[in-house]
Amino acid sequence: MRIADAGMVVTGLCRGGYLVHGDATQRDAILDDNRRAIDEANALGAPALCFVVGGLPPGSRDLRAGRAQIVEVLSRLAEHSAGSGVRLGVEPLHPMYAADRSCISTLASALDVCDAVGGDIGVIVDTYHVWWDPDLDAGLQRAGAARLLGWHLADWRVPTRDLLMDRAMLGEGVIDFAAIERMVRAAGWTGLSEVEIFSDEWNARDPSDTLAVLASNYQALD
Ligand code: ZN
């Protein structure tokens, strides 16, 4: 495989998801789509498939119904991934996305989904989404090494200018990475760190320049 030949590893595939639906036809299409994503992750050798689970069901104001649908669909998908080498990872998203991207907003609620689904499912922790959570440490401890499937890093700009494409370079926002990383490592995470800066500003810059700034800032975080 070209990735392995280049001396690289795939830490995870991002993403499956948008599991909420308005009817059974939509649900079945979502199941098919996500089964293909699991197969793609398997082909890539990715140990985890990251899920952005979706917000409100179409035409609905019922977040609880959305969460119930997510448990139901993930349970079906877990049957497909069982034995494949790919684990399903639920990524809680910042609550500003609750309506349109993820009605799972906290690590605790993501772990509640894992408990309800059962089987070989876990969580993806992204600093951008969970840095504000007063129960973050407790959630990480509850997840433990067995259910921590990914570790994403991006900083929070103040003020945020765009809800999706204004993540900040590490060290240029307000997140205390050193403190959160200590919690993540103490909870048992031993994998690689994935930097995930969705940003129109950084997308417009030379990638080698971005990488140099990232390396420098990352080393200065401790
Ligand atoms: Zn992420």
> Hey, where are the domains in the chain?
2-154+174-199
Q: Does residue 32 sit in helix, strand or coil?
A: helix
**94 Cα: distance to centroid of ligand 1 (angstroms):** 10
Instruction: Say if residue 86's pLDDT is above 80.
Output: yes
Q: Residues of 142-179 as b/e, b for ≥16 C-beta within 10 angstroms? A: bbeeebbbbbbbbbbbeeeeeeeebbbbbbebebebee
The predicted structure's pLDDT at residue 100: 97
Cβ neighbourhood burial of 194 (10 Å; 0-12, 13-18, 19+): middle
**197 Cα: distance to centroid of ligand 1 (angstroms):** 9
**152 Cα: distance to centroid of ligand 1 (angstroms):** 5
119, 38, 53: which is closest to 86 by C-alpha?
A: 38
Greater confidence (2 vs 96) lies with 96
Per-residue pLDDT reduced to its tens digit, 145-187: 999 999 999 999 999 999 999 999 999 999 999 999 999 999 9
Query: What number is the average pLDDT over the span 20-42?
Result: 97
125, 54, 107, 220: which is closest to 212 by C-alpha?
A: 220
Prediction pTM value: 0.95
- Write down the architecture of domain 2-154+174-199 according to CATH: Alpha-Beta Barrel (3.20)
**133 Cα: distance to centroid of ligand 1 (angstroms):** 16
Instruction: Say if residue 84's pLDDT is above 80.
Output: yes
Instruction: Say if residue 222's pLDDT is above 90.
Output: no
Instruction: Say if residue 56's pLDDT is above 90.
Output: yes
**92 Cα: distance to centroid of ligand 1 (angstroms):** 9
